[in-house]
Structure 1
């Protein structure tokens, strides 16, 4: 049974900032500095913007620019996503996110030995049109926050993973009625992947104004 300690949103932003900077320092000391690649693993209905803004502001003050990437901007073409309909749970769980593209265009080039430039978006998830955005260079001291859902156990290369654990009751409250069909995918994710067991930081996030924190060091 995991124990979560309540923490204020401001203190949480500060704690994550320090954790990210320490991990980036460790990477630099290892001899291959590169932008820190952070996974923010949370259901899309969860509002992470205040926390992301708080972390980004604190990092900027410390001289570390922040880039954000949305998983939805790396969804596969609609013809593939909706091959079995727009409410197929299996397709959503295994096939909406183009993990190969996210790895190729963002995570690999920002990793050790990479080009240092990333593609901010691949495709508009609503219009299904190519985003046509040029690659953007990032300095080694930068931090890229990849905000998406069902990110773990997909082969994606992150330097640190933050998992936002949300109860089924809270998800039912947050999910719009027309999107409630996707809820079983998150039940399966908890059972098959155990994201809280894989993440470096686990947050109880039923209410973003009253988060709770459980953290453990990554096993080497």
Structure 2
């Protein structure tokens, strides 16, 4: 295994090329997996324009817009790491409303949000039509090991020390969930691409 430091711009260029070369016969569903401190959403955001330059429609979805209602999400308390790991996000809705329609033979018609945690109500989204060959850029934590149907996963990895150091006080209660994820799922072994993000300003690609 080799760790190859790259600039953020180089990382975006290489990921765009990897995504563009992924052949599915339809849409490409890409997951950017990582704790908030590893900035998977920022990496996904940075992919939109390069993919469009390559002629790909790029659609962003954030797992944070697919939370479960507070009555389910917070049933065990507001800072329960097992609840965060097991029941915080509505993966069934994500699969039904986003991943399924972009699977082979799907309609290509998706929603990009589902639940507003601020109002604890449906976000009442409009449907988006994704053209064949379009790319879904899904970002969020704990994406692997839950059966989500993704064509390519980029895991934004952090060492336990970096994760603890870069996680803000308001989210430190989630750290045991990421310990559990690392132990039970081993996300680095499952992802097609692993990017070391101990310092998101200085990423490094993990290569065989």
Normalising to structure 2: TM-score of the pair? 0.95
Q: The residue matched to 2:116 in structure 1 has which SS?
A: coil
1:118 aligns with 2:117: no
Q: How does 1:105-144 map to 2 (within 5 A)?
A: 105-144=97-136
In 1, are the aligned partners of 2:99 and 2:149 still within 8 Å (CA)? yes
What displacement does 1:176 show? 1.8
Structure 1 position 180, deviation (Å): 0.6
Q: Distance between the aligned counterparts of 1:104 and 1:14, measured in 2? A: 31
Q: Give SS of 1:4's match.
A: strand
**Structure 1 51/179 Cα, relative in aligned 2: closer, same or farther at 3 Å?**
closer
Does residue 206 (structure 1) correspond to residue 205 (structure 2)? The answer is: no
Contact kept? 2:16, 2:51, Cα under 8 Å: yes
TM-score (norm: length of structure 1) = 0.90
> After superposition, what is the alpha-carbon deviation per residue over 1:161-196, rounded to whole angstroms, capped at 9, x for unaligned?
000101222222222212211101101101100000
Does 1:7 find its partner at 2:6? yes
Quick check: 46-55 or 73-82, which moved more?
Answer: 46-55
Q: Which whole-Å CA distance do the structure 2 matches of 1:82 and 1:10 have between them?
A: 39
* Deviation of 1:94 (Å): 0.7
Superimposed CA distance per residue, residues 77-97 of structure 1 (whole angstroms, 9 cap, x where no aligned partner): 100000010011111111111
Change (3 A) 1:53 1:148: closer
Partner of 1:89: 81
* Structure 2 CA distance for aligned equivalents of residues 46 and 199 of structure 1: 15
5+ long unaligned stretches in structure 2: none
Report how many aligned residue pairs link the two structures: 208
Structure 1 residue 104 displacement after superposition? 0.5
Aligned to 1:172: 164
1:192 aligns with 2:184: yes
Equivalent position to 1:156, from 136, 148, 152: 148
Task: Tell me how far apart the structure 1 counterparts of residues 129 and 16 of structure 2 sit (CA, whole Å).
Answer: 22
Unaligned runs of 5+ in 1: none
Structure with bigger RCO (C-alpha 8 Å, 6+ apart): 2
